[in-house]
Amino acid sequence: MLDTRIGTAFLVVAACVMCSSSAAADPAPGDVITFKNAREHDTFLPPAVMTMLDYGMKIEVVANKSCPWPEAYKKATEQYSAQVELTEDKLSLKNYVSGMPFPTVDANDPDAARKIMWNQEYKPAYSDDVRTEWVVDNQDATGFVEKMISSDVWRRLKWDGRLNLDPKPIIPNSPPLRYTEQWGPINTPFDLKGTSFLLYRYSAPQRSDDSWLYFPQLRRVRRYSTSDRSGTLFGSDIDQDSIWGFNSKPEWWEFRLLGSKEILVPMHAGKYATADLWCSDKDKASWVPCVKWEKRKVWLIDGRPERLPVYAFSKRHLWVDQEVYNVTTSEIFDKSGELWKVWQNVFWCAHSVRDGREYPDQRLFTPAIAMIDFQLSHSSRITPPGPANPLVYDWMFESGERSLNLPEYYTISSVIAEGR
């Protein structure tokens, strides 16, 4: 049964989710928001974030700072965006090369929601390739870590829209690919050691993603059905479509723009892989992040999986940053329309966060993610490894061979070889 405090918080905030911010106190730098004063700022917080405050989250308000696009991405947008159009069925892009497809979105445009989600699909966070190490802590209602899942590998390789590394702007393939992605091989726990998840996203709107799971203990590769996209991975609370806030294929969804709004977003978190990043009202590491938040303009998108007939969720509310087009908060609803889960991204826009690599452009690091199942009182929080661990592949952008992020690594045979 839905926790009454969750239901109450969600209904109260949802009733005025797109109200004028003049109805609430304007959060200023230096303010600290907890569950005690959350109602004073409720129109600056998504309903799920209001609920996270009930679990002990503390928001430190700081001044807004821009998160500028990488220079190559900016130039590509200026060069190519004017020629980009939606196809007649609104499901695909015409004449896209690289950069942001629709840098200027008019809220009154009947196609605004779909254009926003295409911007999200081609956001500047990942230009050519990206790789990072990761840890997932599965926690029960008390904050006890039931299982820790870790790996040296999450990597994504873009096959179109490439800006920096040859070949560009496209890696030729038949059929054309938008990107490939891999989670694993997993290091811990022992019963999952060597397991990997591999995904191919095709450019053709009618073609489903190809996904595979490799289980070394069973010595077999299992094709992951499109109907399982809302099912959880590796025994966590995380489903394939929620990764990074929204990881589904936009063509399968109907989107509706609910409005433009200014809310608080953790865009410059100020903490990275340290124990104090997580907090609770019980003064111990728990589900929710205690970091710096700032006021940002976002789009609120209602997304419904109309072309995914077998799906656990009825809809998603996606809060999409209007500068970088990453999903900041993804609220996930059950079949009865009740809030079920949240994926909350924590960002840090900087030249470098801790690993010594100084990028010429500011990059959008994701030092923490809270994936919370409110109905089951369970959480899977995601971070990079802690400071005690030597980092080899921690948030590497446009690194190609240096981070083993080339096309030949995205094959079933490579996944099997890595998992041994």
pLDDT one-digit tens code per residue, 327-363: 999 999 999 999 999 999 999 999 998 766 789 999 9
Q: Residue 383 falls within a domain, yes or no?
A: yes
Task: Give the whole-angstrom CA distance, residue 130 versus residue 181.
Answer: 10
Residue 67 has pLDDT above 60, yes or no: yes
Task: Give the whole-angstrom CA distance, residue 155 versus residue 404.
Answer: 9
Residues 201 and 307 in one domain: yes
161: Cβ contacts below 8 Å, ≥ 6 apart: 76, 96, 97, 98, 99, 122, 127, 169
* CA-based nearest residue to 381, from 396, 363, 397, 366: 366
Q: Report residue 389's pLDDT band, with 50, 70 and 90 as the boundaries.
A: low
Helix 4-14 and helix 47-54, axial crossing angle in degrees, nearest 10: 140
Higher pLDDT, 279 or 33: 33
295: Cβ contacts below 8 Å, ≥ 6 apart: 27, 44, 61, 64, 262, 263, 264, 265
Q: Residue 275 falls within a domain, yes or no?
A: yes
Residues 388 and 305 in one domain: yes
Residues 210 and 303 in one domain: yes
Residue 19 has pLDDT above 60, yes or no: no
CB atoms within 10 A of CB 352: 14
Task: Give the whole-angstrom CA distance, residue 257 versus residue 270.
Answer: 31
* CA-based nearest residue to 99, from 77, 117, 129: 77
Residues 270 and 178 in one domain: yes
Express each pLDDT in 181-237 by its tens digit: 999 899 999 989 999 999 999 999 989 999 999 988 777 888 887 777 888 888 888
Q: Residue 289 falls within a domain, yes or no?
A: yes
Residues 227 and 332 in one domain: yes
Question: How many domains, in total, are found in the chain?
Answer: 2
Q: Residue 88 falls within a domain, yes or no?
A: no
Higher pLDDT, 164 or 388: 164
State the average pLDDT over residues 269-286.
Answer: 76
Task: Give the whole-angstrom CA distance, residue 324 versus residue 30.
Answer: 25
| Residue 391 in tokens | 């980092």
- pTM given for the model: 0.92
* CA-based nearest residue to 45, from 64, 63, 26: 26
Q: Report residue 88's pLDDT band, with 50, 70 and 90 as the boundaries.
A: very high
Q: Are the beta carbons of 384 and 136 closer than 8 angstroms?
A: no
Residues 53 and 147 in one domain: no
- Judged by average pLDDT, the poorest of 31-45, 140-154, 347-361, 387-401 is 387-401
Domain CATH code at residue 276: 2.50.20.10
Query: What is the β-pairing status of strands 145-158 and 177-183?
Result: antiparallel
Residues 28 and 139 in one domain: no
Express each pLDDT in 396-410 by its tens digit: 999 999 889 999 999
> Any alpha helices (H) in 122-255, and if so which ranges?
none
Residues 320 and 402 in one domain: yes
> At 243, is the secondary structure helix, strand, or coil?
helix
Residues 56 and 185 in one domain: no
Q: Are the beta carbons of 112 and 106 closer than 8 angstroms?
A: yes
Q: Residue 84 falls within a domain, yes or no?
A: no
Q: Are the beta carbons of 324 and 123 closer than 8 angstroms?
A: yes
pLDDT of residue 29: 97
Residues 259 and 391 in one domain: yes
Mean pLDDT score of the chain, rounded to an integer? 89
pLDDT of residue 255: 97
Q: Residue 302 falls within a domain, yes or no?
A: yes
Residue 9 has pLDDT above 50, yes or no: no
Domain limits at 38? Answer: 4-61
Residue 3 has pLDDT above 70, yes or no: no
Residues 414 and 275 in one domain: yes
Eight-class DSSP state of 419: H
pLDDT of residue 46: 97
| Residue 333 in tokens | 């609803």
pLDDT of residue 350: 95
Residues 244 and 347 in one domain: yes
Eight-class DSSP state of 118: H
Higher pLDDT, 141 or 10: 141
